[in-house]
Amino acid sequence: MRKNKIETDATVQKLLSTARKHFAEKGFANTALEEIVTETNLTRGALYHHFKNKKGLFLAIFELVQKEVGERVEQEALKSEDPWEQLLIGCKAFLSAAVEEQNLKILLIDGPAVLGWEIFRLMDEQNSMRHLREQLQDMKNQGYLKPFLSVDAMTHCLSGAMNEAALWIADNPDDKNSLEDTISTITNLLEGLKSSEKKSNKP
């Protein structure tokens, strides 16, 4: 039984790794399952057994990318102890990860189109948005944010803005300042959320 599980896990990982490369480079529409099974030296039957169809395979990869980006954001944010710096570092980490070639098409271009907005938003809320919401809620509880502000509203507004900003950054690869300009803009926008009583741990 253990050997079978190890072999199954290895097959799944091989399919995911190969398919992710194809989806990232070619996009969902131009990715052929035949190329994936040929490259992995597996059969269509093996692919269908684990993922049912092309959309099922894409969903598994989308979930993987979402999880990776969410964990990366959390790890980067924890490099600072200051709540405001954590928030800004997390935003920058998300933008940096989202525009990487291995993530962009899957995460922000094909994700909504292939899966539909309902599934896309659900997956987003379980990963990157969850970390963002937790950060904002902690900041509000500690008095860093204006008490009347809605954490849910802030989470959706900021998340939507960053998704759109990531697409803009990706569309302007020759603009070396696009990422820093975006972070600067987000920083200025967030200034309006600060509580007048407690703004930062910094002196």
Q: What is the pLDDT of residues 9-39, one digit of tens each?
A: 889 999 999 999 999 999 999 999 999 999 9
Conformational region of residue 194, where left means phi above 0, alpha means psi within -120 to 50, and beta covers everything else:
beta
3-class secondary-structure state, position 145: strand
State the pLDDT confidence band at 8, using cuts at 50, 70 and 90: confident
User: Which pair of structure tokens corresponds to residue 178?
Assistant: 């696009």
pLDDT exceeds 80 at position 112: yes
pLDDT exceeds 90 at position 195: no
pLDDT in tens, 75-97: 999 999 999 999 999 999 999 99
pTM: 0.85
Rounded Cα distance between 105 and 107, Å, is 6
